[in-house]
Chains A and B, each alone.
Chain A
Amino acid sequence: MSDAPVPQPPADESPVAAAVSAQGLTKIYGEGDTRVVALDAVDCEIGAGQFTAVMGPSGSGKSTLMHCLAGLDSITSGEVYIGNVALSQLNDAQLTRLRRQSIGFVFQAFNLIPTLTARENITLPMDIAGKKVDQEWFDTVVQKVGLGDRLTHKPTELSGGQQQRVACARALASRPHVVFADEPTGNLDSRSGAEVLEFLRRSVDEYDQTVVMVTHDPVAAAYADRVLFLADGLIVDEMAEPTADRVLQRMIAFEVARS
């Protein structure tokens, strides 16, 4: 199952080398009257071992960017690289294997398979790849997200925050090249949200995990190393070492500029 040749992204050489990059990434939905340019020739690089947040108004193309970078969606033109692998060169099965081995996902909601226990959900990507679970790493991850006593529970028996933490654990369990999270705290109260963000932050600090997170929340963005601002399908600005206040100001500035 997993023995077909899968292009492996190379190991990173410097701490700020690009884990994921896009060149001239364009995504157009529909045609004629319904034509929407969701991404307009975007160039960007996601630093390896960095926590990158993507922000922007609703409809600005954040989710689209994330889906295209993660190989979940086809692109109209341009190129996306995961490490040194150009996604346009891959067919569906190869893309799937790449996702399975090199990418972790956390969605806003409905992250877990309802028939499986928390533990089974966490190991699912490895199970379907037929790979052995690295027990030591599994224990570490589970311990970090604080789920030790909940592993045999089904998703319906977990709170929203716990569910998102299981999703984070799953995303990290296979030690992916990069983790993508689309508004992972969008459905959570601030305390549960903080736990999830805390966890993502620590995985970057302690294990050099690359994380890309889409968010609406300046507080969440403040956990990141770097924030990319998107508007109308273009990256209009970026900010290093963000704080919640600075991010908020910048967002307000956009709103003013737009209106």
Chain B
Amino acid sequence: MIRTATRNLLAHKLRLVLTLLAITLGVSFVVGTYVFTDSLNKSLAQLFDTEPADVVVQPVDSAETSGGGGGQAPALTMPDSIIKQVAEVNGVSSAIGSVNQVGAIVLNDEDESVGGPNSTPLGVSWEPNQDTSQATLLAGSAPKGNDQVALDSTTADKANVSVGDTVRISTPLKTDAKKEWQVTAVVDIGLSGGVTVVLFDLPTAQKYLVGEGLINQVLVTVSDGSTPSDVATAINNSLDSNKYTAITGQEASDQQEQQITDSLGFLNTFLLIFALVAVFVSAFLIFNTFSMLVAQRTREIALMRAVGASRRQIQSGVVTEALLLSVVASTLGILLGIGLAFGLRALFDLFGLQLPSSQFELAPRTIIVAYAVGIVVTVAAAWIPANRASAVPPIAALRAESSPPKATLTRRLWLGVATWVLALLFIYLGLTNGTETGVAWIGLSAVFGIIGTIALTPFLAAPALSVMGLPFRGAVGRLAVQNSKRSPRRTAATASALMIGVSLMSIMVVFASSFTATADQAIDEAYGADFTLGSPPQYQPFDSALYGQVNGIDGVGESTFIRATTGTKGQSTFPGYGIDPSVMPSMINFEVTEGSLAAIGPQKAAVDTDLAETNGWKVGDKANVTWRTGQSEVEVVALYEPVLVFTGFLTDFATVRDWGAPAGQDTAIYLKLAEGADAEQVRTDVKTVLDKYPAVGIQDQAQIKADIQDQINQLLRFIFALLGLAIIIAVLGIVNTLLLSVVERTRELGLLRAIGGLRSQVRRMIVLEALMLGVFGAIIGVVLGVIYGVLMQRSLETEGLTTLAIPVITLIVFIIAGAVAGMLAAIWPATTASRLNILKAISTE
């Protein structure tokens, strides 16, 4: 049987290549996604594998937001006298201070961060002990004193410097010095992007990063015979436990890893969904290819049955063939998938989303899933139709014109309708339930909606193609329409792969447009300032000396600044802002529903209405909130509607300092123009001041809108890049379908040429078929995407996504892109078809 199977495979080379291609692509899609995700996670794990020290002592961060490694809240500080206290505890062999702060920006010639606008500029103190240091010395020697720094190797490359060269660095403190520093060392930090790291010796780090006499952590080495956990307990007993805490190095690295994993959690979820889409689309492609082949092979099978082969022989022949093929193709797919993973990584870099990428991980799970998808789907795809073919009497099969039995089509109709009924039920649940479960119901409904639509596309295909064919007059157009209608199932399956990608993209753009529109509207309604100064996108705080320098500028009227910290209550995390209640309302139009902003003061705050509702707070209540510095009882004096970035608590500056806002640092400055002032002149003057604060930028209303748009677009581009892969697979699916259909129609095409069809007409016919496939898939995708995009917006309306915006032009572009994709897919099949040798074609069996 194996021999007949191999011979069978080799006998139809093109068919073989196409099937192989389908399985290989499908498998590679799955493998690429998994390898990429796994490598990312392993790199992260590796990164935090080394413990910073045996024991780490740090200020209590009750809100658990400290994240020197990329979080936006700056690490809390404590006086360095703690070092001495810790050193005296029993079991401590050595204790050194450590500084770890965001805001040391390595500048390029344009005074921008060499790491790009989205990287986190980290400044840390050099740790003398190489064994525990997370930075491995690659070249040079430790930086010493006020002029020397070390850089991580990626940053050094980007700044194009090596040991001995100088770089300009802007630091959070002493910002008036865009100072030149000498690079004395280059280190490896195990992270290839997303952060730039500058290392100073401890006194310099204190002076330029956190303030003299302050540190972020004490790193402790325990003496022989003591265990880290015992020493940590001993330190905790000797220090004020409300303010400081000691944890073991293991705990510290776990915490850090957890933080990073949390912040990348969305990415993992997204990639997992993407992997599921991958499995789905791949299975589709393979299944589709095989069901086409079997139509062709039905006659062959019937002939074999006619000459006496038993059903079992035929079935085992088909399965053996599918097994052989799928093992080879899956193996190729795994190799291709690994390449794809590297491609994805490059893609992420391209979009500035640099991820740790030191590791490469091909997990056994990936290989198992790859072979499972490849083999199971292929064998099932081969077996099911072959079984059907071998079940009918040979003569009927010989005569069969590859039309599927009516019964399965009816079943499919019912399946599609039933799935959609469920989808509609979930929509109902989604719209009637509260926001939180509502979105989940809508998401579930989308899955069912897409599957239901796939089941129903064969029934949509014929009418849709008739309508689409209307503009194509003439014999060629009519032939193309007829050909596409010939097998509604095949047309449907091919278009469906494209539909999945396009519908996901459409949901995304509807969502993104609504988001931008909502933000724009909020800015129009609530934003009263003429200029905002800050350092987007993470809004790291900056030296409050800046405020004094800009509010004196000629032409600046009212001005104010804000400071920020973070608090938690139960599951929710929210900001706490320090504002000046006499000026701030003219900058941001707060809609105060109860009480008055003027009433805020020491431990008295305004709370946003959502948060108040969740926690049952009313004006006059005492809210018990955990801030970064610990718990406090806050009196609620006003309620306001959340607006722009403002949610959570609004209080005065002294109170917010108390809650953990960094001293002497502002998060944003708001300016209004004085009567008759020239906006451009003011902007120029402010920019002159900002020259010394490279991290801070100035934005007017339009720029803030553009900024939001930019951020959304960046995210969209990234998502599109991933979904683009699904689209490419879908387009290759179209190529596959068309090529097979050209092979199937060899005689017909030959006949067409014999009776006078030009090569160009044959080519045009195939291109038109592909174009209709592409447009059909894209239109269904767009329709489905819009439906679910709108539903998503509706279910998030109470969550603040108040404005629905449907980006009509973008959606039309999707449909045009579908047409173009179809035509591109047609190039190869159309060329093959037009080059057919007429005589060979008409004499083909």
Contacts of B486 in A (CB 8 A): 115
Most chain A beta-carbon neighbours within 10 Å: one of B401, B752, B754: B754
- Check if A97 is an interface residue, CB within 8 A of chain B: yes
Contacts of A105 in B (CB 8 A): 754-755
Query: Are the CB atoms of A128 and B839 closer together than 8 Å?
Result: no
CB distance from B490 to the nearest CB of A (A): 14
Query: Are the CB atoms of A93 and B474 closer together than 8 Å?
Result: no
Given known A110-B842, A113-B748, contact A128–B476 (CB-CB < 8 A): yes
Contacts of A128 in B (CB 8 A): 474-476, 752, 755-758, 761
How many Å lie between the Cα of A105 and that of B839 in the bound state?
Answer: 13
State which residues 32-66 of A face B: CB under 8 Å: none
CB distance from A32 to the nearest CB of B (A): 21
CB distance from B199 to the nearest CB of A (A): 72
Contacts of B401 in A (CB 8 A): 114, 156
Given known A115-B483, A127-B475, contact A110–B759 (CB-CB < 8 A): no
Contacts of B748 in A (CB 8 A): 110, 113-114
How many Å lie between the Cα of A111 and that of B748 in the bound state?
Answer: 8
How many Å lie between the Cα of A115 and that of B758 in the bound state?
Answer: 19
State which residues 84-129 of A face B: CB under 8 Å: 92-93, 96-97, 99-101, 104-105, 107, 110-116, 120, 124-125, 127-129
Most chain A beta-carbon neighbours within 10 Å: one of B485, B752, B756: B756
How many Å lie between the Cα of A112 and that of B483 in the bound state?
Answer: 14
Query: Are the CB atoms of A100 and B756 closer together than 8 Å?
Result: yes
Contacts of A92 in B (CB 8 A): 759
Residue from A73, A110, A115, A124 in contact with B755 in the complex, judged by beta carbons closer than 8 Å: A124
Query: Are the CB atoms of B476 and A107 closer together than 8 Å?
Result: no
Given known A67-B839, A116-B482, contact A124–B754 (CB-CB < 8 A): no
Q: What residue of chain A has the Cβ atom nearest to residue B838's Cβ?
A: A72
Q: What residue of chain B has the Cβ atom nearest to residue A67's Cβ?
A: B839
- Check if A30 is an interface residue, CB within 8 A of chain B: no
Query: Are the CB atoms of B754 and A170 closer together than 8 Å?
Result: no
CB distance from A53 to the nearest CB of B (A): 21
Query: Are the CB atoms of A125 and B755 closer together than 8 Å?
Result: yes
Query: Are the CB atoms of A101 and B479 closer together than 8 Å?
Result: no
Most chain A beta-carbon neighbours within 10 Å: one of B401, B475, B485: B475
Given known A96-B756, A125-B755, A127-B475, contact A107–B839 (CB-CB < 8 A): no
How many Å lie between the Cα of A66 and that of B778 in the bound state?
Answer: 48
Contacts of B838 in A (CB 8 A): 72
Contacts of A120 in B (CB 8 A): 478
Q: What residue of chain A has the Cβ atom nearest to residue B842's Cβ?
A: A107
Contacts of B842 in A (CB 8 A): 107, 110
Q: What residue of chain A has the Cβ atom nearest to residue B755's Cβ?
A: A125
How many Å lie between the Cα of A34 and that of B753 in the bound state?
Answer: 28
Interface size counted on chain B using CB atoms at 8 A? 26
State which residues 817-845 of B face A: CB under 8 Å: 838-839, 842
- Check if A130 is an interface residue, CB within 8 A of chain B: yes
How many Å lie between the Cα of A124 and that of B755 in the bound state?
Answer: 8
Query: Are the CB atoms of B482 and A93 closer together than 8 Å?
Result: no
CB distance from B833 to the nearest CB of A (A): 14
Interface residues on A, range: 20 to 34
Q: What residue of chain A has the Cβ atom nearest to residue B485's Cβ?
A: A115
How many Å lie between the Cα of A253 and that of B441 in the bound state?
Answer: 87
Q: What residue of chain A has the Cβ atom nearest to residue B753's Cβ?
A: A96
Query: Are the CB atoms of B759 and A93 closer together than 8 Å?
Result: yes
- Check if B751 is an interface residue, CB within 8 A of chain A: yes
Contacts of A72 in B (CB 8 A): 754, 838-839
Contacts of A93 in B (CB 8 A): 758-760
Contacts of A129 in B (CB 8 A): 756
Contacts of B482 in A (CB 8 A): 115-116
For the residues of B in contact with A, the DSSP-based class is helix
- Check if B747 is an interface residue, CB within 8 A of chain A: yes
How many Å lie between the Cα of A115 and that of B745 in the bound state?
Answer: 11
Residue from B752, B754, B756 in contact with A97 in the complex, judged by beta carbons closer than 8 Å: B756
Query: Are the CB atoms of A110 and B747 closer together than 8 Å?
Result: yes
State which residues 110-168 of A face B: CB under 8 Å: 110-116, 120, 124-125, 127-130, 156
How many Å lie between the Cα of A92 and that of B760 in the bound state?
Answer: 11
Q: What residue of chain B has the Cβ atom nearest to residue A102's Cβ?
A: B756
How many Å lie between the Cα of A71 and that of B759 in the bound state?
Answer: 15
Query: Are the CB atoms of A113 and B751 closer together than 8 Å?
Result: yes
Query: Are the CB atoms of A127 and B755 closer together than 8 Å?
Result: no
State which residues 230-246 of A face B: CB under 8 Å: none
Given known A73-B839, A116-B482, A130-B474, contact A99–B759 (CB-CB < 8 A): no
Most chain B beta-carbon neighbours within 10 Å: one of A93, A111, A128, A170: A128
How many Å lie between the Cα of A23 and that of B485 in the bound state?
Answer: 47
CB distance from B487 to the nearest CB of A (A): 11
Q: What residue of chain A has the Cβ atom nearest to residue B758's Cβ?
A: A96
- What mask results when residues 158 to 187 of chain A are scored 1 for a CB within 8 Å of chain B, else 0? 000000000000100000000000000000
Query: Are the CB atoms of A170 and B751 closer together than 8 Å?
Result: no
Query: Are the CB atoms of B756 and A101 closer together than 8 Å?
Result: yes
State which residues 166-211 of A face B: CB under 8 Å: 170
How many Å lie between the Cα of A105 and that of B759 in the bound state?
Answer: 18
How many Å lie between the Cα of A125 and that of B752 in the bound state?
Answer: 9
Contacts of B485 in A (CB 8 A): 115
Residue from B474, B476, B754 in contact with A99 in the complex, judged by beta carbons closer than 8 Å: B754
How many Å lie between the Cα of A48 and that of B745 in the bound state?
Answer: 35
Contacts of A100 in B (CB 8 A): 755-757
CB distance from B757 to the nearest CB of A (A): 5
Query: Are the CB atoms of B475 and A96 closer together than 8 Å?
Result: no
State which residues 720-775 of B face A: CB under 8 Å: 747-748, 751-761
How many Å lie between the Cα of A130 and that of B473 in the bound state?
Answer: 10
Q: What residue of chain A has the Cβ atom nearest to residue B752's Cβ?
A: A113
CB distance from A205 to the nearest CB of B (A): 25
How many Å lie between the Cα of A120 and that of B474 in the bound state?
Answer: 12
Query: Are the CB atoms of A97 and B758 closer together than 8 Å?
Result: yes
CB distance from B830 to the nearest CB of A (A): 16
Most chain A beta-carbon neighbours within 10 Å: one of B474, B747, B748, B755: B755
Query: Are the CB atoms of A125 and B759 closer together than 8 Å?
Result: no
How many Å lie between the Cα of A97 and that of B760 in the bound state?
Answer: 12
Most chain B beta-carbon neighbours within 10 Å: one of A96, A97, A99, A120: A96
Contacts of B759 in A (CB 8 A): 92-93, 96
CB distance from B730 to the nearest CB of A (A): 25
Most chain A beta-carbon neighbours within 10 Å: one of B759, B761, B838: B838
How many Å lie between the Cα of A1 and that of B761 in the bound state?
Answer: 9
Query: Are the CB atoms of A170 and B756 closer together than 8 Å?
Result: no
How many Å lie between the Cα of A124 and that of B752 in the bound state?
Answer: 9
Query: Are the CB atoms of B757 and A96 closer together than 8 Å?
Result: yes
Contacts of A156 in B (CB 8 A): 401
Given known A72-B839, A99-B756, contact A124–B475 (CB-CB < 8 A): yes
Contacts of B839 in A (CB 8 A): 67, 72-73
Contacts of B747 in A (CB 8 A): 110
- What mask results when residues 381 to 411 of chain B are scored 1 for a CB within 8 Å of chain A, else 0? 0000000000000000000010000000000
Contacts of A97 in B (CB 8 A): 756, 758
Residue from A101, A104, A110, A127 in contact with B751 in the complex, judged by beta carbons closer than 8 Å: A110
28 A-B residue pairs with CB within 8 Å? A1-B758, A1-B761, A72-B754, A93-B759, A93-B760, A97-B758, A99-B754, A99-B756, A101-B756, A105-B754, A105-B755, A107-B751, A107-B754, A111-B751, A113-B752, A114-B401, A114-B748, A115-B482, A115-B483, A120-B478, A125-B756, A127-B474, A128-B474, A128-B476, A128-B756, A128-B757, A128-B761, A170-B755
**A residues within 8 Å of B by Cβ?**
1, 67, 72-73, 92-93, 96-97, 99-101, 104-105, 107, 110-116, 120, 124-125, 127-130, 156, 170
**B residues within 8 Å of A by Cβ?**
401, 474-476, 478-479, 482-483, 485-486, 747-748, 751-761, 838-839, 842
6 closest A-B pairs by beta carbon, nearest first, are A100-B756, A127-B475, A115-B482, A128-B475, A99-B756, A125-B755
Please name 7 further chain A to chain B contacts, defined as beta carbons within 8 Å, in addition to the given A113-B751, A128-B757, sorted by A numbering: A96-B758, A99-B756, A100-B757, A110-B748, A128-B474, A130-B474, A130-B475
